[in-house]
Amino acid sequence: MPPYEDIRCHDLAGARHIELHRPEALNAWTPDMGRELLDALDDASADPAVRAILITGAGRAFCAGADVKNARETTSDGAPDLSGRLREIYNPIVTTVREAPKPVVAAIHGACAGLGVSLALACDLLLAADDAYLLLAFTRIGVMPDGGALAFLAERVGLTRAAELAMLADKLPAARAQDWGLVTAVHPADELGEHAVALVERLAAGPTVAYASTKQALNAVSQRHLAEALELEVTLQQRHATTHDYAEGRAAFVEKRRAEFQGH
């Protein structure tokens, strides 16, 4: 494995452990971290010695979503490019997790927000600390959820609850997320690590080909339109690039104040 700046990787008992490692920014995604994560997932997916994958986050949170303070690229007409990173980095990460021929486990603690939710829900099994919460904060900055979050939520919890999480942008505590069927198990925060390691080692010692077949069949039933949904998100997300609400939402986030949206 090459040296990474924003993630950490190591192998243990047949499992690849991947840790998001920007703790000072609550592991908020930047393009560089996304590229490193995609590379690490591609490598783990293709390596026959790796029979399961565990994704965790360093510090106080799993992932705070995309780093809004990170400068955006612009399109040819000078508008913020809200679609390029999705198409080139973030959506391929989601696709790689779903298509990996081995189980992928996420263990979340603290904040799991924005693209962090997309990543966690893309995994096959999701463990949570009792202090964890899911938060689709996208509308707080005047954009829509992306990274496949809406597709995963609508399939698992239905349209009403998916709309609630996406539009109201309220926190969903781990215990309620488990009740809704989004989380496999909830553990005390100080015990999450040991439970996650035990689960991924159990999977790594299991029938890898059978797991891969099971995952392929589940994808065929529940995620057969995922590629279309991801591409639609790319198109729809770019619609927000020139709106007042996106500019206001992003400014309000950086300035730590309440956004004043005008509906255009």
The pLDDT tens digits for 35-82 are 999 999 999 999 999 999 999 999 999 999 999 888 788 888 888 899
HSE-up (13 A, CA, CB side) for residue 47? 17
In a domain, 74, yes or no: yes
State the total domains in the chain: 1
In a domain, 143, yes or no: yes
CA end-to-end distance (rounded Å), the chain? 46
Q: Which tokens is 133 given?
A: 């919460």
In a domain, 21, yes or no: yes
The ranges of the chain with pLDDT < 50 are none
pLDDT of residue 179: 98
Cβ 241 vs Cβ 75: under 8 Å: yes
In a domain, 134, yes or no: yes
Cβ 55 vs Cβ 36: under 8 Å: no
pLDDT of residue 70: 81
In a domain, 173, yes or no: yes
* CATH number of the structural domain spanning residue 53: 3.90.226.10
Cβ 30 vs Cβ 67: under 8 Å: yes
In a domain, 199, yes or no: no
pLDDT of residue 217: 97
In a domain, 198, yes or no: no
Which pTM does this prediction carry? 0.96
In a domain, 260, yes or no: no
pLDDT of residue 76: 84
For 105-117, how does the pLDDT look when each residue is reduced to its tens digit (9 = 90+)?
A: 999 999 999 999 9
Helix, strand, coil shares, percent, the chain, to 5? 50, 15, 35
User: Which domain range does residue 173 map to?
Assistant: 7-190+204-255
Cβ 75 vs Cβ 81: under 8 Å: yes
